[in-house]
Amino acid sequence: MTTEKTILDYDTVALDDTDSALVIIDQTKLPGKIELLRLHTAEEIWNAIYLLQVRGAPAIGVAAGFGIYLLAKQIDTTDFLIFYEEFSRAKQYLDSSRPTAVNLSWALNRMEQVVLAHKNEPIPTIKQLLKETAIRIQEEDIDICRRIGEHGLSLVKPGDGILTHCNAGKLATSRYGTATAPIYLGHERGYEFHVYADETRPLLQGARLTAFELQSAGIDVTLICDNMSAMVMKQGKVNAVFVGCDRVAANGDAANKIGTSVVATVAKHYGVPFYVCAPTSTIDWNTPTGADIMIEERKPSEVTDMWYEKRMAPEGVKVYNPAFDVTDAELISGIVTEYGVARAPFTESLKKIKLLKENEENGR
């Protein structure tokens, strides 16, 4: 008997080293069509990140790791200084594709550290180490998401209603997702959650991606418009909110997809716990508060034209299209990391998380 492949059977991001290609699912085509893209050049990789063909903070980090390895592989020199100069140029270029998700620069910096730490080695050895590190970033992502899932699962009970915003799912990571990890793990264990997926205007990641992947997994998911979260919370249908994030500041303020802070405010009003799921690669201890996070602004046509048969707003109208907003730490019940759940005061609890991470890394 052959079972049909679903979106869950495809890698969000993969390396095909034989063809020197970064392979991604083109997420702009979902849910209508599952199409794989093979990216070879710096421009192709930059565009794929910028256009959200690959998106979601951890997946962007994994793509950047494989991407910079492939670009480094193309550098044809035996001279370290020339190699490093070209590597740095490629790194800077990829880093400029999107500004908010810190995982992009986190992954690129980690790859750069490999180069610097082995500057006395032959270039082929450095290239091999870059490949191994990029693969490790992806493997760690799977493990980290699973750990986030376990900690998140301890915060809910069978039969609960869970609301999520945007897509912090498998399509935003290598497996499980962050905000969806407790949902997937719970599903494996028969928890029978009822999930509400916000559609997430203007790019509809909730409708196109979260509803699609959860439905494909056989999870009970109901799609709602962004402006319906207060309604379902007031009706008592939501026991917890899980969202992902793109950057957590040292004080616990968290940037995530536009509209997240509206959900957090409504959740506080109705007494529903609001959890931000974040691998430590998304925590930026060098950014003191949410006010210091750069928020990406995108094209007006995403609001006025995209998804409509005909433009639906008056020609010439002013449009403001920030892609993310910052949820104030005081609205967050907990930040679910791979090392456990950080609670207020976050400045202190996130420092403890950092220590746990350093201890684990030093013990390796």
Residue numbers annotated as active site: 246
**Whose Cβ is closer to ligand MRU: residue 114's or residue 263's?**
263
Among 246, 253, 284, 325, binds ligand MRU (CB under 6 A): 246
- Window 84-143: residues binding ligand MRU (CB under 6 A): 101
Beta strands in 307-362 (DSSP E): 324-327, 334-337, 340-342
Give the residue ranges of DSSP H helices in 168-285. 181-188, 205, 211-216, 229-234, 260-269
Shortest Å, Cβ 362 to ligand MRU: 27
Residue 66's H or E segment, with its range, is: helix 57-73
Query: 256-287 in b/e burial notation, b at 16+ Cβ within 10 A?
Result: bbbbbbbbbebbbeeebbbbbbbbbbbbbeeb
Shortest Å, Cβ 88 to ligand MRU: 25
Is residue 257 part of the contact set for ligand MRU (CB under 6 A)? yes
Q: With CB under 6 A as the contact rule, which of the stretches 87-95, 227-235, 243-251, 267-275 interacts with ligand MRU?
A: 243-251
SS3 (DSSP) at 200: coil
- Window 168-197: residues binding ligand MRU (CB under 6 A): 168, 172-173, 177-178
Residue 138's H or E segment, with its range, is: helix 123-153
- Window 139-168: residues binding ligand MRU (CB under 6 A): 166, 168
Is residue 48 part of the contact set for ligand MRU (CB under 6 A)? no
**Whose Cβ is closer to ligand MRU: residue 131's or residue 206's?**
206
Residue 340, Cα to own-chain centre: how many angstroms?
18
Is residue 57 part of the contact set for ligand MRU (CB under 6 A)? yes
| Structural contact between residues 196 and 163, judged by C-beta atoms closer than 8 angstroms | yes
**Whose Cβ is closer to ligand MRU: residue 86's or residue 302's?**
302
**Whose Cβ is closer to ligand MRU: residue 52's or residue 233's?**
52
Among 24, 30, 58, 349, binds ligand MRU (CB under 6 A): 58
Sheet holding 283-284, edge to edge: 283-284, 247-249, 254-257, 324-327
Report the length, in residues, of the chain: 364
Query: Which residue has the closest beta carbon to ligand MRU?
Result: 244
Shortest Å, Cβ 139 to ligand MRU: 17
Is residue 52 part of the contact set for ligand MRU (CB under 6 A)? yes
- Window 309-328: residues binding ligand MRU (CB under 6 A): 323
- Window 274-303: residues binding ligand MRU (CB under 6 A): none
Residue with tokens 């013990």: 363
- Window 199-238: residues binding ligand MRU (CB under 6 A): 205
**Whose Cβ is closer to ligand MRU: residue 131's or residue 257's?**
257
SS3 (DSSP) at 250: coil
**Whose Cβ is closer to ligand MRU: residue 73's or residue 273's?**
273
Give the residue ranges of DSSP H helices in 154-248. 181-188, 205, 211-216, 229-234
Shortest Å, Cβ 298 to ligand MRU: 9
**Whose Cβ is closer to ligand MRU: residue 76's or residue 320's?**
320
Amino acid (1-letter code) at residue 157:
K
Closest residue by Cα to residue 257 from 322, 186, 178: 322
What is d(CA 57, CA 257) in angstroms, rounded to the nearest whole number? 11
What is d(CA 54, CA 51) in angstroms, rounded to the nearest whole number? 8
If binding means CB under 6 A, how many residues of this protein chain bind ligand MRU? 19
Shortest Å, Cβ 172 to ligand MRU: 3
Residues lying near ligand MRU in the complex (CB under 6 A) are found at: 52, 55-58, 101, 166, 168, 172-173, 177-178, 205, 244-246, 256-257, 323
